[in-house]
Amino acid sequence: MTTSPPIVAVYPGSFDPVTLGHEDVARRTLRVCDRLVVAVAESSSQSKRHLFEVPERLEIMREVFAGDPGIECVSFSGLLVDFAREMGARFIVRGLRAVSDFEYEFQMAQMNRELWDAAETVFLAPDVPYSFLSASLVREVASLGGDVTSFVSPPVHERLRRRFG
């Protein structure tokens, strides 16, 4: 009897901070793969002002996914496709919320395919309540004193509370 190798996927992003939308996409991915590597990019392709440093983002994510045995959280530097290859991952997962996400996601998917043809980018739609949610909105609302409890898990909320009071 032959056993197939486990299907590994990489879910890359900035995750600054990880939202319930990211969590939803990560857990949905486990319906179609055996192991998911949620990977925080040390250098994002977009010039963004960060709220949490990469080690803190990673610490938060490890708390958030502590109850999900198929999910591992790591950081990576350099090209995503090189990292995916190192991880033995053939799938790159990205959440797609709205048409506005499409252009950026399509460009990245095509570039990644040019760089490593064996990698397939797979887009997953988050659950409806998270279809408008983004880490940048969470950062903005939290920094202005708004309630973000319905958008992030308790470990994230706690870090935001410490940061913004």
Q: Among 30, 74, 111, 137, which residue interacts with ligand PNS (rule: CB under 6 A)?
A: 111
Binding to ligand PNS, residues 4-43 (CB under 6 A): 12-14, 41
Closest contact distance (angstroms) between CB of 53 and ligand PNS is 15
- Count of positions on this chain that bind ligand PNS (CB under 6 A): 12
Question: How many CA within 13 A on the CB side of residue 101?
Answer: 15
Q: Among 46, 99, 147, 165, which residue interacts with ligand PNS (rule: CB under 6 A)?
A: 46
45 is a contact residue toward ligand PNS (CB under 6 A): yes
112 is a contact residue toward ligand PNS (CB under 6 A): yes
Residues that bind ligand PNS (CB under 6 A): 12-14, 41, 44-46, 79-80, 108, 111-112
